A = this chain, B = another copy of it.
Amino acid sequence: MDPACLLTHPMTHPDTTHTLAARYEQLRQQTRALAEPLSAEDCQIQSMPDCSPVKWHLAHTTWFFETFILSRFQPDRAPFHPDYRMLFNSYYNAIGARHPRPQRGMLSRPPLDDIWRYRDATDDAMRALFDRMAGVDAAFDQLVELGLNHEQQHQELILTDIKHALSLNPLRPAYAPLAQGSSSTVTPPGWIQYEGGRVRIGHEQTGFSFDNESPAHDMLLRPFHLADRLVTQGEYLAFILDGGYQRADLWLSLGWDRVCAEQWQAPLYWEEQGNDWQIYTLRGMQALDPQAPVAHVSYYEADAYARWARARLPREAEWEHAARQMRTGSGLTTANLLENGQLHPVAAVSRPAPVTDPAQMFGDTWEWTCSAYDAYPGYAPPAGAVGEYNGKFMCNQYVLRGGSCVTPASHIRATYRNFFPPEARWQFSGIRLARDA
């Protein structure tokens, strides 16, 4: 199978051995497993308006199936609880009222146990529907697919949000026990050359994708170079030591304002202790590994680093073009999957020259591009409430590509467009350099 083709499709995609129902079961179980190491108190807390409590994520992903599927295909079914429609609505104005986002952490009731019951009851109802509808009604299949992809997004958020919440605790508690680190030697960064020209961008809709990946379209690219691996923590440290956070000339104007206002001195989760740097991870505090990719930088920091390094961030079309060109496979290995439980990006493996494909394209860190998040030519959001999924957020955000170490493997694809405001740092967001050829 052509790897480019692979990558424009879900990596683990529906086939005869993975029915929709089976994937539903597996994925819902994965979500439950993510909450396993956490107490009810851990699942309660919300550390900032951008983050949600884990309990809320568990409920909201269930709400999605109940609201968009059960209430449509089984309209006579009584909702699990009449207030949940409002409590666990995230941002769908078409669904009606919703609990204010910054107040999600105040919902000590319903208790976590009720949410588990909510999940069980919803899963039971979904199972009954699967028997009747799967493969029968295309709308049903599509909405389930959307719900599964939606839940995968929240799987990642469960980890990034609880990481942020726990990091505010002076005890710096770990989500999971310390793993054995495997630091490999990193080779100096190199460049991969691309000719550009007329290239194809966007999802061809031969499998599931989000609306914002379409329509597929052609565009023109100038020749460019893409770094053959991510920027490492050691390289980023050199930027810090060179006064990167003190030199206004390296920063976007808004970025410099932010550096000054928030007194940023390093990426999120970096703590200077004497002469050393410690990094807070989901496995607790760890010494800085100079070979591992830098993560938890904002767009502003990624952009400033690139300027300091006399390079730039890639355009999202450049990144996607390179991803679809991969000749040696997708680069997704067991080393960088949520599924392997590493929970932190790891150093790239040395490769013998000549290197023809960039490494660490998938599943290490989300890679900031310099492309503002906007609508592809001809884009139109779907009708109804699910039309609020993506389109209304196309303002003052930047596209990130590639997936991180806590993105489910089957959720990663070359056309996938993640997006965050330029000041966001609590995702596993890192840096790949580009430059004009």
Residues of A within 8 A of B (CB): 39-45, 47, 55, 83, 86-87, 91, 93-94, 99, 103, 105-112, 165-166, 168-171, 173, 198, 217-222, 248-249, 251-255, 299-300, 315, 370-372, 374-375, 377-378, 388, 392-396, 422, 436
Can you tell how many copies of this chain the complex includes?
4
Bound form: Cα–Cα A47–B198 in Å? 49
CB of A34 to closest CB in B, whole Å? 16
In the bound complex, do residue A252 and residue B47 qualify as a contact, i.e. CB atoms below 8 Å apart? no
Given the complex, which residues of B lie within 8 Å of A249, measured CB to CB?
A: 93-94, 388
In the bound complex, do residue A83 and residue B170 qualify as a contact, i.e. CB atoms below 8 Å apart? yes
Given the complex, which residues of B lie within 8 Å of A217, measured CB to CB?
A: 220, 222
Given the complex, which residues of B lie within 8 Å of A170, measured CB to CB?
A: 83, 86-87, 99
In the bound complex, do residue A41 and residue B372 qualify as a contact, i.e. CB atoms below 8 Å apart? no
Query: Nearest 4 A-B pairs (CB), nearest first?
Result: A372-B372, A93-B248, A41-B108, A42-B108
User: Chain B CB within 10 Å — which of A41, A93, A248 has the most?
Assistant: A41
Given the complex, which residues of B lie within 8 Å of A99, measured CB to CB?
A: 170
Given the complex, which residues of B lie within 8 Å of A41, measured CB to CB?
A: 40-41, 43-44, 55, 108-109, 111-112
Given the complex, which residues of B lie within 8 Å of A221, measured CB to CB?
A: 377
CB of A99 to closest CB in B, whole Å? 6
Given the complex, which residues of B lie within 8 Å of A375, measured CB to CB?
A: 370
Q: Which of B108, B110, B251, B377 touches A45 (beta carbons < 8 Å)?
A: B108
A-B contact pairs, 13 of them (CB 8 A): A41-B108, A41-B111, A41-B112, A45-B108, A83-B170, A86-B170, A87-B170, A94-B249, A109-B169, A219-B220, A222-B378, A254-B396, A370-B374
Bound form: Cα–Cα A393–B251 in Å? 10
Bound form: Cα–Cα A198–B219 in Å? 9
Given the complex, which residues of B lie within 8 Å of A106, measured CB to CB?
A: 45, 47, 165, 168-169
